[in-house]
Amino acid sequence: MSTTTFAVDGMTCGNCVRHVTEELTALPGVTDVQVDLVAGGSSPVTVTSDAPLSPEAIAGAVDEAGYAVTPRGSLL
């Protein structure tokens, strides 16, 4: 199991969390996604997977949901 934590800016509600969670869960091997919503700030996101995920895959999934990994929490 691999766990990765990063921050995402711009999420303001449960619907935002749902979009990010759905995109990350669609990545191969992802078994769990936990989002600690901080409205108006950077929200910590923890992804658990069967194998390590590339920073590009994570950033791409978050981007597909309409958000971005914060620069200070960047995986890239």
What pLDDT is recorded for position 41? Answer: 85
Q: Which of the two residues, 73 and 11, has the higher pLDDT score?
A: 11
Crossing angle for the helix pair 14-25 and 55-64, to the nearest 10 degrees = 140
What pLDDT is recorded for position 76? Answer: 44
pTM, two decimal places: 0.89
Contact criterion met (CB below 8 Å) for 26 and 61: yes
Query: Which residues face 44 on adjacent strands?
Result: 7
